[in-house]
Chains A and B, each alone.
Chain A
């Protein structure tokens, strides 16, 4: 575990040194030894993050967001990628709350993904610090600190390495308020951040998205943002939340997703989905990185089939905004759920079951609810692009759902 992590972070550091500015395009000049796309591809072309409608490319569009506070809407914006917006949120949390602590493996020098850059210098090594290499220790320590009133923001270096801390999350963090009863202590001050998802070459232990394992645990809030604006607002909400939160950061977006982010502090609501585009013929439910895939597939499908598709970002995958999804599916009669992690017992299973379980929605269904997700396999190094849902697979399922 240690060795792979070292290799991985070293390669990130290399990229860091090479480019001081944020790259606007994911496409590279020289051929890469992994995850290339065929020259004639029409569907499976890489996301162009500089044009995607999911990101606010101009200050004006960022500030139009009605979920923002009036102060944020009347403020300014700054171009940030995902790791920079997370850094901004962490800095705001540390500045506004004396009890806030930020810790994990290699957090002090800025983190292997640069999310905690300059924070130790700014807020002191007593508040931003490295821990020994022990996930159960990090989580146990965080729970104890939160139980005594601290705001504890813990980092697990990769979601793939959260399992040693599973007992602490499931049996301790999630159940803390419940078992304390009238004593009233809780670990609401706890937020656990973890990079997740595929990145093209992460293989078995630098690619996982274990969110559905957490959604089976009452007591935790599980959040995954799709963009820098969302990441800042949702992370500040997670930190302020009185419930323990698992905040999952799609690591492929750390540098790729760049947008104009309001500079003022602001929060975005938890357990509330967002309708990203309205449509009448099909609902696509997703969260995190695959939303870009869905957006590209929708663009092609709408053009090819002359239909209109509604895209919903769950944002919080548990407790999730069931009402938003049901309302949309009652309107469109068709639904497709897309996620990176394995299809078996994934978020899609919960969404699909909830749709068929709701009498009113069930009667409006025109076709079975489909799931486009990772296969029920592990993420082998060479096979990632065949495993993670791509535009072709989403497009194909849109097609078959509409033709049903």
Chain B
């Protein structure tokens, strides 16, 4: 009970139980707090500067490097392909491959992932293949999403990654709820391996109400969830100075009672280490949320619909690309350990590029899903209203065959 005992030295308010009284009136000035430090364990030259870090096997390190390369090769080609009008839209993740591949490598297969849209590296690290990426981007009949979502809105049930949706931050409370549900399930099955939910979002999305709602409910309900914020400095054209005035996103975590860390997102081993530790914390004592703020820089344009040189200097971007980049930093680490050289780099890039281009041209040739897919899955079953509307559309297609091109859709109007 929080009731006040007679003669007690201090009052115990229910809303802040450990707050001591003071007769010195002082505001808490954010400016007097030092910025939360950024953890890094690898120097820009690829040397390990935190000797306590547990490094992965050489095989895994090489695999992770390859996955980052795969993302960057896909990004370059697809950005150009969009420019040529071969797909409607694309978003690259240049500069953030380390955050995504590094964190995903520290998770277990059963962990449930929610992402925003700039997490191709997470999909890649989990095992999403070039053909799967391409089928989604070209919205062909092999696309799991049945051609309903914009490009880059990937999803995979097999990999336990929820399908991406455009509204920002909506997935953050989902992750809290999912974490609660899997915690209950894992508890009901004592033999099962405990799982966590993981949620990625940008620093811009963290301004949405859903961010606040999610962190608060995750904390009060003790949900085993890791929130990973990709702070890349920009939300489209808006720099962080116009996004918030506090110490980034990390400083908010403790306000919700959440264990929090800031990490160098360009340091893949730091991200991996932090995520591993966060996973342990998230499962401790019945579960709790953890917040990771991964600092990086959005080297690419926001999307193919954006020209970022309209709001930031080209030289700034070039500088980041050259000076500090997760791919080059890992490459230096691999070279320092005798695992990599120019020859391997050239050969691997060539192989990956040709595998990618094959997936690209294959996916482009595949027919679109059936027109029927447009009406399905609104409800579990087709409603009479939707059935009637399907029939109506079919009538239109039959009466005005010259007005619609349906040849690319599987099964044509009969579907």
**Residues from chain B with Cβ under 8 Å of A186 in the complex:** 380
Any chain B CB within 8 A of the CB of A319?
A: yes
B145 touches A180 (CB 8 A): yes
**Per-residue B-contact encoding for A176-195, CB less than 8 Å = 1, 0 else:** 01111111111010000000
Please provide the 8 A-B residue pairs with the shortest distance between their CB atoms, ordered closest to farther.
A140-B173, A144-B177, A137-B213, A144-B174, A141-B177, A145-B177, A181-B146, A150-B181
CB distance from A325 to the nearest CB of B (A): 12
Q: Write the nearest CB–CB distance from A340 to chain B, whole angstroms.
A: 24
| A47 lies within 8 A of chain B by Cβ | no
Given the contacts A177-B380, A179-B145, A129 and B112 also touching, CB distance less than 8 Å: no
Given contacts A140-B172, A242-B380, contact A183 B212 (CB under 8 A): no
Kindly state whether residue A57 has any CB partner on chain B within 8 Å. no
Q: Are B377 and A178 in contact (CB under 8 A)?
A: yes
- Whether A181 lies near B221 (C-beta < 8 A) is no
Are A150's CB and B184's CB within 8 A?
yes
Using known A-B contacts A147-B174, A319-B379, determine if residue A141 contacts B167 with beta carbons closer than 8 Å.
no
Which one of A30-38, A166-174, A295-303 contacts B? A166-174
Q: Please, how many angstroms separate the alpha-carbon atoms of A392 and B373 in the complex? A: 49
CA distance A180 to B184 in the complex (A): 24
Q: Is A367 an interface residue (CB 8 A)?
A: no
In the complex, are the beta carbons of A141 and B217 less than 8 A apart?
yes
B210 and A140 within 8 A (CB): yes
**With an 8 A cutoff between CB atoms, is A98 at the interface?**
yes
* Residues of chain B within 8 A of A146, CB atoms compared: 177, 181
With both chains docked as a complex, state the minimum distance between the C-beta of B309 and any C-beta of chain A, in angstroms. Answer: 32
Complex interface: stretch among B31-39, B90-98, B150-158, B316-324: B150-158
User: B112 — which chain A residues lie within 8 A by C-beta?
Assistant: 148
Q: In the complex where A137-B216, A137-B217, A145-B180 touch, is A179 in contact with B148 (Cβ < 8 A)?
A: yes
Q: Which residue of B lies closest to A218 (CB)?
A: B378
Within 8 A of B (CB), among A100-135: 101, 126-127, 129, 131-132, 134
Contact with B along A91-104 (1 / 0, CB 8 A): 00000001101000
Provide the residues of chain B in CB contact with A271, threshold 8 Å.
383
Which of A138, A164, A183, A184 counts the most B-chain CB atoms under 10 A from its CB?
Answer: A183
**Shortest CB distance A356–B (Å):** 16
Cross-chain contact B379 with A147 (CB below 8 angstroms): no
The minimal Cβ–Cβ distance linking B165 to chain A, given in whole angstroms, is: 6
**24 CB < 8 A contacts A-B:** A99-B181, A132-B216, A136-B210, A137-B173, A137-B212, A137-B216, A137-B217, A140-B170, A140-B177, A140-B214, A141-B214, A144-B179, A147-B162, A148-B185, A164-B209, A177-B380, A179-B153, A179-B155, A179-B163, A181-B145, A182-B144, A219-B378, A319-B383, A323-B384
Chain B residues positioned under 8 Å from A184 (CB to CB): 157
Determine the distance from Cα of A144 to Cα of B163 in the docked complex, in whole angstroms: 12
Q: Check B170–A168 contact: CB distance below 8 A.
A: yes
Chain B's closest residue to A188 (CB) is B380
| A360 nearest CB across to chain B (Å) | 14
Judged by a CB distance under 8 angstroms, whether A152 is at the interface is yes
- Asked whether B188 is an interface residue with its Cβ less than 8 Å from the other chain, the reply is yes
Shortest beta-carbon distance, B376 to chain A, in Å? 8
Residues of A within 8 A of B144 (CB): 181-183
Q: A183-B155, A219-B378 are in contact. Are A140 and B385 (CB under 8 A)?
A: no
Q: Do residues B178 and A144 form an inter-chain contact, with CB atoms below 8 A?
A: yes
The range of chain A's interface size is 35 or more
Tell me whether B170 and A319 are in contact (CB under 8 A).
Answer: no
Number of contact residues on B: which range applies? 35 or more
A185 touching B157, Cβ below 8 Å: yes
Closest CB-CB distance, B340 to chain A, in whole Å? 36
In the assembled complex, B240 has its CB within 8 A of some CB on chain A: no
Q: Does B293 contact A (CB under 8 A)?
A: no
Q: How far is the CA of A145 from the CA of B371 in the complex (A)?
A: 32
The CA of A177 and the CA of B155, in the complex, are separated in Å by: 12
Q: Which of A126, A129, A132, A136 makes the CB contact (< 8 A) with B209? A: A136
Fill in one digit per residue for B189-225: 1 if any A CB lies within 8 Å of its CB, else 0.
0000000010000000000011011101100110000
Residues of A within 8 A of B157 (CB): 180, 183-185
- Closest Cβ–Cβ distance, residue B132 to chain A (whole Å): 11
The residues of A that contact B264 with a CB separation of less than 8 Å are: none
Shortest Cβ distance from A308 into chain B, in angstroms? 28
Q: How far is the CA of A94 from the CA of B200 in the complex (A)?
A: 32
Instruction: Assess A148 versus B178: contact at CB under 8 Å? Given A132-B217, A134-B212, A136-B209.
Output: yes
Q: Chain A residues near B149 (CB, 8 Å)?
A: 179
Q: Are A131 and B220 in contact (CB under 8 A)?
A: yes
A164 partner residues in chain B, CB cutoff 8 A: 209
Contact between chains at A152 and B145 (CB < 8 Å) = no
| A322 contacts partner chain B, Cβ-Cβ < 8 Å | yes
Contact A129 B383 (CB under 8 A): no
The reply to whether the CB of B278 lies closer than 8 angstroms to some CB of chain A is: no
CB-CB < 8 A to A322: which residues of B?
384-385
A221 to B145, CA, bound (A): 23
B182 at the interface (CB under 8 A from A): yes
Q: Report the separation of the CA atoms of residues A146 and B181 in the bound assembly, to the nearest whole angstrom.
A: 8
Q: Which of chain A's residues has its CB closest to B215's CB?
A: A137
* Known contacts A131-B221, A167-B167, A177-B377, then 8 further A-B pairs from the complex at CB < 8 Å, ordered by chain A residue: A98-B188, A99-B185, A141-B177, A144-B179, A144-B180, A150-B180, A179-B149, A319-B379
Quick check: B177 and A152 within 8 Å, CB to CB? yes
Convert A314-328 into 0s and 1s, putting 1 for each residue whose CB lies closer than 8 angstroms to a CB of B.
000001001100000
User: With a CB–CB cut-off of 8 A, which chain A residues contact B209?
Assistant: 134, 136, 164
Contact yes or no, B177 A134, CB < 8 A: no
**What is the CA–CA distance of A367 and B213 in the complex, to the nearest angstrom?**
51
Is B41 in the interface zone, CB < 8 Å from A?
Answer: no
In the bound complex, residues from chain B placing their C-beta under 8 Å from that of A181 are 143-146, 148, 155, 163, 373, 377
Q: Does B176 contact A (CB under 8 A)?
A: yes
What residues of chain A lie closer than 8 Å to B153, measured between beta carbons? 179
- Beyond A134-B217, A147-B162, is A141–B176 a contact (Cβ under 8 Å)? yes
* Residues of A with C-beta under 8 A to B145: 179-183
- Known A-B contacts A132-B217, A140-B177; the reply to A172 vs B165 at CB < 8 A is yes
